[in-house]
A = this chain, B = another copy of it.
Amino acid sequence: MVAADSGTAVRNTRQRSAVSALLGEVEGFHSAQDLHAMLRSRGERVGLTTVYRTLQGLADAGEIDVMRPPGGEHLYRRCSEGHHHHLVCRACGRTVEVEGPAVESWADRVANKHGFSDVSHTLEIFGTCPECARR
């Protein structure tokens, strides 16, 4: 687990490229099954298992973001350069991206104060959007 990946050669395969490319084209978050369906509908022949594995690998490598909404499915998205969070409507699912530089540094500061290294964090804000609140 902590082993420095000396010989861990990551091979370049058609499937891996397909997943990676797809993530580069789509907007927002999508579930693994979602992405798998998209690949199939565009003619790519990729197994669901492989999609899961590839996404896991990309997530471990820090190349994509993972969000775990209460709904149950994990959602993946290409990691944008700017780290930001989400404001999600509880009723309609509408998502607004928000940034909080202060939060970033606060999280790092707190983690370091406790001696933690290699820090990351997840932050989701839930609420009812204006449209849904009106009803």
Residue of B nearest to A113 (CB): B98
How many copies of the chain does the oligomer comprise? 2
Interface residues of chain A: helix, strand, loop or mixed (majority): mixed
Could you mark each residue 67-105 of chain A with 1 if its beta carbon is under 8 Å from any beta carbon of chain B, else 0? 010100000000000000001011100001010101100
Indicate which residue in B116, B124, B127 contacts A122 across the interface (CB closer than 8 Å). B124
- Contacts A87-B111, A123-B121 given: A128-B102 contact, CB under 8 Å? no
- Contacts A68-B70, A103-B106 given: A126-B117 contact, CB under 8 Å? no
* Set of chain B residues within 8 Å of A87, measured between Cβ atoms: 110-111, 114, 116
Where the two chains meet, the residues of A that have a C-beta atom closer than 8 Å to any C-beta of B are 1-2, 68, 70, 87, 89-91, 96, 98, 100, 102-103, 106-107, 110-111, 114-130, 133, 135
